[in-house]
Structure 1
Amino acid sequence: MIELDGVSHTYRIGEQRTSAIREVDFRVDQGEIVSIVGPSGSGKSTLLNVMGCLLTPDSGAVRIMGKDMSRLSDAAKAEIRRLHIGFIFQSFNLIPVLNAFENIEYPLIIGGAAAGERKRRVGAILERVGLAQHQHKRPDQLSGGQKQRVAIARALITNPGFVLADEPTANLDSHTATEILALMSELNRELKTALIFSTHDPKVSAFAHKQVRIEDGTLVA
């Protein structure tokens, strides 16, 4: 599904160099739920961004669906993201002028899906995440948990191979976070979509199939 082999990335600001991740070997298979834990600044978000083809590493290999990302053009990487990768952001990143239905539909529009197909697929996933009755509401009319459900539905609407989630419960209360994790676990079992989280939340780590820890940019046992 996704494999990192000796991957390193350094941020450069002027003359300053900051090593974010170093010599990372990492693999996620189909249907796995993996949590990446570590303190702030340890490299969790950088690791997710590399896996999501949003950052190009300085060294090492990133392979998605068996394809070496270093051999692909930017346009080809964008196509990989569109077809195979879903993203769930800590701050939801919903488009404020669009309602729930339209936010979920947006990736399908970009992908060129026909209107009837979009309506069918979005309607089905709205039912699945329990938001059919809220589909016409804009993000500012939704609770935090409802926004996260929209974000989950949007990430899954293209049937990606895996979803990257950056602190998915950070802005939710404990009860809502538990509900969201239960929903994602159900969807994981049904769709066989791999889920990869960066998190500080022990509840997220507890529900993952496996946990990896990162400290100072290096994976530790």
Structure 2
Amino acid sequence: MDIHKITVVGGFGRGGEKEPLEGFELEMGDVASIVGPTGSGKTALINDIGLFAAGNTPTRRRILINDSDPPPEFLEDPARNPIALITQHTSFLSDLPVHRFLSLHAKIRKRGRPETIVEETLDFANQLTGEPINVDSAMTELSGGQSRALLIADAVVIGNSPIILLDEIENAGIDRSRALSLLRNYQKIFLFVTHDLHIALLSNARLVMRAGAMQALIATEEREQRMAGRLRQLDEMMLHFRDRIRAGERLSEEDLEARLAALTGAQP
């Protein structure tokens, strides 16, 4: 089944009131963010989507695929489920080496030549994480950031999932700007749960949550995208100092002042 869009039909908030936003839809190629304070219902929303809610969850939302109820096999057959959900908590039961794990998945999915697909997956993952993944390492030996990067790459490249839900990838040490840039090369629907300003501003739109209810869907304006470029410069400065701390170096106020001056001078 070719998927063209997904629709979330609004239900009810935590207090039993009807959601202010009656619903929203995302089409192939869209990148959207879910924003709101802790406890606002962001994770509950992506869980509704991942479960193809049909009025049978506490929120009573409904999920439609191409304007229709999802076919039963989406829930009954994991191989046909079009949604990949990458959560904050990743753990592997398999202690297979990374390369073997990916090769088996590629063969199961019948995704072209396994060795080529595996190479593309590893290249994708290594562009997201600061510490390259050793293909001979057991899956259970990967760090949290490596695990999350590998799962994202696996879902995009090998799983070829048309709809990918990502829960707070900024907490895994992943290069967010690089991740968004890479993901946009694939014609899929990406929905981020995030507290990260940069991710929200680089998305096509942001869904605002409060009190367990969808409040509004706000399209990102051009001026906000320009702000994202400036904020990235600040972010890169922070990453520079973080990497120096990790390398065991000392920092100086002079270096900070010099970088702030250069950043200010670079702005129009």
Structure 2 residue aligned with 1:164: 165
DSSP 3-state at the match of 1:195: strand
DSSP 3-state at the match of 2:88: coil
Contact 2:11 2:61 in 1 (8 A): yes
The question of 1:3 aligning with 2:7 is answered yes
What is the RMSD computed on CA atoms of the aligned residues?
3.2
- Equivalents in 2 of 1:141, 1:20: separation in Å? 46
- Equivalents in 1 of 2:6, 2:161: separation in Å? 12
- Equivalents in 1 of 2:206, 2:124: separation in Å? 27
> CA distance change for structure 1 residues 83 and 117 in 2, over 3 Å: closer, same or farther?
farther
Segment drifting more, 76-85 vs 60-69: 76-85
The question of 1:153 aligning with 2:153 is answered yes
- Equivalents in 2 of 1:62, 1:9: separation in Å? 16
> Which 5+ residue runs of structure 2 have no aligned equivalent?
217-268
Q: 1:49 Cα deviation (Å)?
A: 1.3
Equivalent residue pairs, number: 203
Structure 2 residue aligned with 1:31: 29
| TM-score, normalised by the number of residues in structure 2 | 0.63
DSSP 3-state at the match of 1:68: coil
Contact 2:34 2:207 in 1 (8 A): yes
DSSP 3-state at the match of 2:206: strand
Structure 1 residue aligned with 2:119: 123
CA deviations on 1:138-170 (whole Å, 9 max, x unpaired) are 244333332221111122122221210112222
- Equivalents in 2 of 1:192, 1:82: separation in Å? 18
- Equivalents in 2 of 1:93, 1:43: separation in Å? 24
> Which 5+ residue runs of structure 1 have no aligned equivalent?
11-17
Indicate the structure with greater strand content.
1
Contact 2:52 2:62 in 1 (8 A): no
Q: 1:105 Cα deviation (Å)?
A: 4.8
Ranges of 4+ aligned residues in structure 1 off by more than 6 Å: none
The question of 1:68 aligning with 2:69 is answered yes
Contact 1:19 1:217 in 2 (8 A): no
Q: 1:135 Cα deviation (Å)?
A: 1.8
Structure 2 residue aligned with 1:141: 141
Segment drifting more, 132-141 vs 207-216: 132-141
Amino acid at match of 2:92: L
Rg larger in 1 or in 2?
Answer: 2
Segment drifting more, 22-31 vs 43-52: 22-31
Q: 1:78 Cα deviation (Å)?
A: 4.0
> CA distance change for structure 1 residues 52 and 220 in 2, over 3 Å: closer, same or farther?
same
CA deviations on 1:118-151 (whole Å, 9 max, x unpaired) are 3332222212333886222124433333222111
